[in-house]
Amino acid sequence: MYHRGFVYRGDKQSNLMRKFSYADYIVGKVWALTHDATTVTDNTFLVDTDLSIRSFGVDVNNEFDFTAFDEYIYQIVAK
């Protein structure tokens, strides 16, 4: 498995605050985990895509987005 991700610091999704969001490049799934400096305390599945997620980033409001090899920028939004 090859993972890419970052820690969420935006305002729109409080359920992701300070969680490390990451994706599996091969299967296109995205998760968010919490770590207490010694162990993973929570690992939440966020979304299943058919994309090969190549990179994560943040916009001007610290909301995270990601890119795939189809040249689009995607953002995960709360339901």
pLDDT digits (tens, 9 = 90+) for 7-28: 888 888 888 888 888 888 889 9
What confidence score (pLDDT) does residue 29 get?
A: 92
User: Are 24 and 17 within 8 A, CB to CB?
Assistant: no
pLDDT digits (tens, 9 = 90+) for 25-40: 889 999 999 988 888 8
User: Are 31 and 47 within 8 A, CB to CB?
Assistant: no
Mean pLDDT along residues 54-61: 86
Q: Domain limits of the chain?
A: 3-75
Distance (Å, whole) CA 77 – CA 46 = 10
